[in-house]
Amino acid sequence: MILLPVRVSDEADADISAAASWYAERSMKVAVGFIEAVYNELGFIAQFPNGEPRVRGMVRQ
């Protein structure tokens, strides 16, 4: 299976990092679960890049 690259905007990357930090302050287990969920979703996007409708140009929901 060929996985396509997934680009994450700087803003989204900052949001993910801030959320992971917020979770880590409360529970490292929850923070790790959050990061794993993000990576799982990015993997899904790489496998099925057309899996969600477009919301703006080439940006998908």
> How does pLDDT run across 34-60, given as a tens digit for each residue?
999 999 999 999 999 888 888 888 777
The least confident of 19-23, 30-34, 44-48 is: 44-48
pLDDT of residue 58: 77
What are the residue boundaries of the structural domains of the chain, listed by start? 10-60
Q: According to the 3-state scheme, what is the secondary structure of the chain?
A: CCCCCCCCCHHHHHHHHHHHHHHHHHCHHHHHHHHHHHHHHHHHHHHCCCCCCEEECCEEC
**For residue 22, pLDDT beyond 90:** yes
